[in-house]
Amino acid sequence: MNSKRFFIIFIAALGLYSCQQESNSAASTPPALDLAETLPGTWELINITVKVNSFENTDSSYIEEIKEEQWEKIFYVKPVRTYYELDNKYRRAHLNLEDALMSESRGIWNTFNDTLMMIEPDATYQYVISKQPNGLLQFSTLLDWDSDGENDDEYVGLQRYISRTTTQ
């Protein structure tokens, strides 16, 4: 009878230990990024890195990067701003140094787990979003940066949250 009681206590202790381990591992896993909750508001594109892959099977790969400090000093524009509305509409504004609108695109947006779909009348964009340090979001996708007809160029853009409002 003692060995039976010991066995039952052993199994119960093992089960308790197992539950404790699952609880600890769940607590150490960061919560998933809820894009539908995170995106509404105004975001500013601060950095772009594109690894442009070969053109027509030639060894012409290169990396193009636009850093935050270059937008105004080199390109004479403000960083691109995207305004995500709560009703899943968005607009992307390109502003000059005086904050005058140079061009704007509009569309609808939706999220699926870590993926953002942005649909405009003539284009659809799909980005995998990941949270970065300091509250930045990283937008990654394959696209045709070099206009060679192939979506084989690796785009990574970093965006910073500006405001909960979406007025310019």
Tens-digit pLDDT profile for residues 4-59: 555 555 555 555 555 555 544 445 555 678 999 999 999 999 999 999 987 666 77
CB 95 within 8 A of CB 107: no
The dihedral formed by the CA atoms of 50, 55, 57 and 60, expressed in degrees to the nearest 10: -70
Cβ atoms of 158 and 131 within 8 Å: the answer is: no
pLDDT, one tens digit per residue, over 55-111 is 666 777 889 999 999 999 988 999 999 999 999 999 999 999 999 999 999 999 999
* Cα first-last separation, the chain: 78
In whole angstroms, give the CA distance from residue 25 to residue 11.
21
Q: What is the pTM of this model?
A: 0.76
What DSSP state is assigned to residue 32?
P
In the DSSP assignment, the letter for residue 86 is T
pLDDT at 18: 54
